[in-house]
Amino acid sequence: MTNINIWQGKWKQLKGNVKQQWGKLTDDDLDKIEGREEEIVGLIQERYGIAEEQAKAEYHAWMSKQ
């Protein structure tokens, strides 16, 4: 099993945690991105009106706790 497959399997479990952290992201958003980092960072940036660097930093800080 590749890392991508493992991550996508875990993504289903992590979606609830993502919604707790970033409540402006919808279930549809999370279903579409399936855990792809680039896309989730873009959505965080868009929905919260923050810079890409800040969105990446927040995402990586959150991921380190998972």
* pLDDT tens digits along 1-58: 555 566 667 877 888 889 999 999 999 998 888 888 899 999 999 999 999 999 999 9
* Topology (CATH level 3) of domain 3-64: Protein Yjbj; Chain: A; (1.10.1470)
CA–CA separation, 62 and 7 (whole Å): 15
Question: Per-residue pLDDT tens for 43-65?
Answer: 999 999 999 999 999 999 998 88
CA–CA separation, 4 and 58 (whole Å): 21
Residues 38-50 as b/e (b if ≥16 CB within 10 A, e otherwise) read eebbebbbeeeee
Q: What is the pTM of this model?
A: 0.79
